Amino acid sequence: SNKPKIVVLGAGYAGLTTTKRLTQKLLPEEAEIVLVNKHNYHYESTWLHEVAAGTINPNQARVMISDVVNPSRVRLIYDSVIEVKKDEQRVVLENSEITYDYLVFALGFESNDFGIKGMAEHAFAIEDIDSSRFISEHIEYQFAKYNNDKNATDDSLNILVGGAGFTGVEFVGELVEKVPELCKKYDIDRGKVRIINVEAAPSILPMFDKDLVDYAKQSLEDRGVEFRIGAPISECTPEGFIVGDDQELIKAGTVVWTGGVKGSSVLEKSGFELTKGKVNVDANLRLSGEENFFVLGDCSWVWNKEEDRPYPPTAQLATQEADVTANNLKALLTNRPLEEFVFKSKGTVASLGITDGIGSVFDDKKLRGKLAAAMKKVVDNRTLFLVGGMKLVLKKGKVRPF
């Protein structure tokens, strides 16, 4: 056909939301829409720390794409993107190729180890469903092994987490829920298991006000988390992290790196100019100078003019970028002016296990404890609602109303 072809790469928050909005805003004859994703499911990347700790089932965090996108409106291709050849308007996939008139690049994040020696080889990372499930299975295996293998040491029960940003802290928050359960299941004394979170900066969660940070730290310490603050990790060995000026080796049977993220490695492979592993986009979220090439979500570097720094990569940001991009694609197809992207923060909440959390919402109102935990579940359910409506909330939601 001679309809313009819009190709969306990635079915995370950015890509899936763009695709859904396009099906709502465009008539079928206005454009052909193609969605490319590695798997036939979308996953809630904001729930991956729970998958990694084993506090939720991986299936709760994933949704079949064909259940939330109409396959008769959108051509669905389940394949891995290898490279984008921008000059030829062509995308190379593992098993085929596809051309486009308009491209939305939304392949999301990958773990960033900043080149720390041994990290890629010896530490787990929370990146997608498979890598997160691998962590919970590995932890459980360490516990199962403990009473049955002469080579198992007390260190093998330790869980070491590198980086106390959102992901690291939310992950140890889940571990304090899971570890007692595993201890019971495998006849192990809880006192034998250490959960250690190492952070280079002088504080955990530096984006929150000090009183909230102090609350979070105390709450997690009370439940058995050890924090090592101001302790940069310089290397990861098969035994654990090497930390601090005195090069102390902290040993653990499970070592997880949560020290940061960058954009998809496909960006680099495609030869784009990158800023900290991401594409610096213009006010319409396009590659500068390109009419038809949008970069969204964790692959984009978007400047916050008010605070003179880039926006942190979040699901909230990715979803809002998608809404504007769908509008702008419609505008391009109908020769109307494009809108500029402006982020409207709805606040931030971090969970500290199932019934605790901290948050800063509604113009800096602070939340802590059960209220923050409840707010986090509301946010999680709202995200599900945006992906698949009330039906999905009832099926996979965090608080079951029935």
Active site residue ranges: 170
Dig out the tokens for 302 from the structure. 């978007």
The footprint of ligand FAD on residues 348-367 (CB under 6 A) is none
Of ligand FAD, ligand NAD, none, which one does residue 38 interact with (CB within 5 to 8 Å by kind)? ligand FAD
Residue 369 to residue 91: CA distance in whole angstroms: 47
Per-residue binding letters, 68-107, with ligand NAD (x by CB under 6 A):
----------------------------------------
Asked if 213 touches ligand FAD (CB under 6 A), the answer is no
Q: Is 60 among the residues that bind ligand FAD (CB under 6 A)? A: no
Query: Can you tell me whether residue 345 is helix, strand or coil?
Result: coil
Interaction of residue 3 with ligand FAD, rule CB under 6 A: no
**Segment contacting ligand NAD (CB under 6 A): 3-11, 244-252, 268-276, 309-317?**
309-317
Rounded CA-CA distance 138/141 in Å is: 5
Kindly state the DSSP code that residue 241 receives in the 8-state scheme.
E
What angle in degrees, to the nearest 10, is found between the helix axes of 166-185 and 129-146? Answer: 40
- DSSP sequence for 201-232: SSSSSTTS-HHHHHHHHHHHHHTTEEEETT--
Binding mask 31-70 for ligand NAD (x = CB under 6 A): ----------------------------------------
**What track of x and - describes contact with ligand FAD for positions 302 through 321 (by CB under 6 A)?**
-----------xxxx-x---
Non-local CB neighbours of 40 within 8 Å, separated by 6+ positions: 64, 65, 66, 76, 78
Q: Which is nearer to ligand FAD, 55 or 316 (CB)?
A: 316
Provide, rounded to whole angstroms, the least separation between the CB of residue 12 and ligand NAD. Answer: 12
Residues near ligand FAD, by CB under 6 A? 10-15, 36-39, 42, 45-46, 48-49, 80-81, 106-109, 126, 128, 167, 170, 264, 266, 297-298, 313-316, 318
